[in-house]
Protein backbone atom coordinates (compact mmCIF):
# COMPACT_ATOMS: atom_id res chain seq x y z
CA UNK A 1 0.00 0.00 0.00
CA UNK A 2 1.26 3.46 -0.85
CA UNK A 3 0.87 6.24 1.68
CA UNK A 4 -1.34 7.99 -0.90
CA UNK A 5 -3.88 5.23 -0.24
CA UNK A 6 -3.93 5.69 3.53
CA UNK A 7 -7.32 6.90 4.78
CA UNK A 8 -6.39 7.75 8.37
CA UNK A 9 -5.53 11.21 9.60
CA UNK A 10 -2.36 12.28 11.42
CA UNK A 11 -2.57 15.69 13.06
CA UNK A 12 -0.01 17.90 14.68
CA UNK A 13 0.57 21.18 16.45
CA UNK A 14 -2.01 20.66 19.19
CA UNK A 15 0.72 19.27 21.48
CA UNK A 16 -1.73 16.75 22.98
CA UNK A 17 -1.09 13.06 22.34
CA UNK A 18 -4.25 11.22 21.37
CA UNK A 19 -5.71 8.53 19.16
CA UNK A 20 -9.31 7.75 18.29
CA UNK A 21 -11.43 6.25 15.54
CA UNK A 22 -14.20 8.19 13.82
CA UNK A 23 -16.28 6.67 11.02
CA UNK A 24 -13.82 3.74 10.82
CA UNK A 25 -10.89 6.12 10.28
CA UNK A 26 -7.98 6.30 12.67
CA UNK A 27 -7.13 9.81 13.84
CA UNK A 28 -3.76 10.26 15.55
CA UNK A 29 -1.92 13.13 17.14
CA UNK A 30 1.54 11.90 18.10
CA UNK A 31 1.96 14.66 20.67
CA UNK A 32 4.98 16.85 21.13
CA UNK A 33 8.63 16.12 21.72
CA UNK A 34 9.31 19.43 23.43
CA UNK A 35 6.10 21.30 24.17
CA UNK A 36 3.47 18.91 25.53
CA UNK A 37 0.26 20.53 26.76
CA UNK A 38 -1.33 17.60 28.56
CA UNK A 39 0.41 17.76 31.93
CA UNK A 40 2.96 15.03 31.13
CA UNK A 41 6.43 16.56 30.56
CA UNK A 42 7.84 13.49 28.80
CA UNK A 43 8.47 13.69 25.06
CA UNK A 44 5.56 12.16 23.13
CA UNK A 45 5.63 10.32 19.81
CA UNK A 46 3.66 7.69 17.94
CA UNK A 47 4.50 4.70 15.77
CA UNK A 48 1.89 4.12 13.08
CA UNK A 49 1.60 1.03 10.89
CA UNK A 50 -0.42 2.20 7.89
CA UNK A 51 -0.98 -1.33 6.65
CA UNK A 52 -2.57 -2.66 9.83
CA UNK A 53 -3.84 0.71 11.07
CA UNK A 54 -2.20 0.03 14.44
CA UNK A 55 -0.73 2.91 16.39
CA UNK A 56 1.41 2.87 19.50
CA UNK A 57 1.64 6.03 21.60
CA UNK A 58 4.92 6.43 23.47
CA UNK A 59 6.47 8.71 26.09
CA UNK A 60 10.15 9.06 26.88
CA UNK A 61 12.39 11.14 29.10
CA UNK A 62 14.45 13.98 27.69
CA UNK A 63 16.76 16.50 29.34
CA UNK A 64 14.34 19.32 30.18
CA UNK A 65 17.00 21.14 32.24
CA UNK A 66 19.23 21.43 29.18
CA UNK A 67 16.36 22.52 26.93
CA UNK A 68 15.33 25.16 29.48
CA UNK A 69 18.93 26.39 29.63
CA UNK A 70 19.18 26.61 25.82
CA UNK A 71 15.89 28.52 25.67
CA UNK A 72 17.20 31.12 28.12
CA UNK A 73 20.63 31.32 26.43
CA UNK A 74 18.86 31.73 23.09
CA UNK A 75 17.11 34.82 24.38
CA UNK A 76 13.62 33.39 24.53
CA UNK A 77 11.40 34.10 27.53
CA UNK A 78 12.27 31.93 30.53
CA UNK A 79 8.58 31.00 30.88
CA UNK A 80 8.81 29.18 27.54
CA UNK A 81 11.24 26.73 29.12
CA UNK A 82 9.75 26.66 32.60
CA UNK A 83 6.43 25.28 31.42
CA UNK A 84 8.23 22.23 30.03
CA UNK A 85 8.75 20.93 33.58
CA UNK A 86 4.97 20.62 34.03
CA UNK A 87 4.09 19.62 30.48
CA UNK A 88 1.99 22.72 29.98
**Cβ atoms 85, 69 nearer than 8 A:** no
Q: What is the mean pLDDT of the chain?
A: 90
Q: Which residue has the higher pLDDT, 6 or 81?
A: 81
Strand order of the β-sheet with 9-10 is 9-10, 25-29, 18-22
pLDDT tens digit sequence for 22-40: 998 999 999 998 888 899 9
Amino acid sequence: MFLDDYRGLVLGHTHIQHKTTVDDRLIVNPGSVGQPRDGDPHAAYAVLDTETNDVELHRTHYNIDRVHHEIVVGGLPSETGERLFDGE
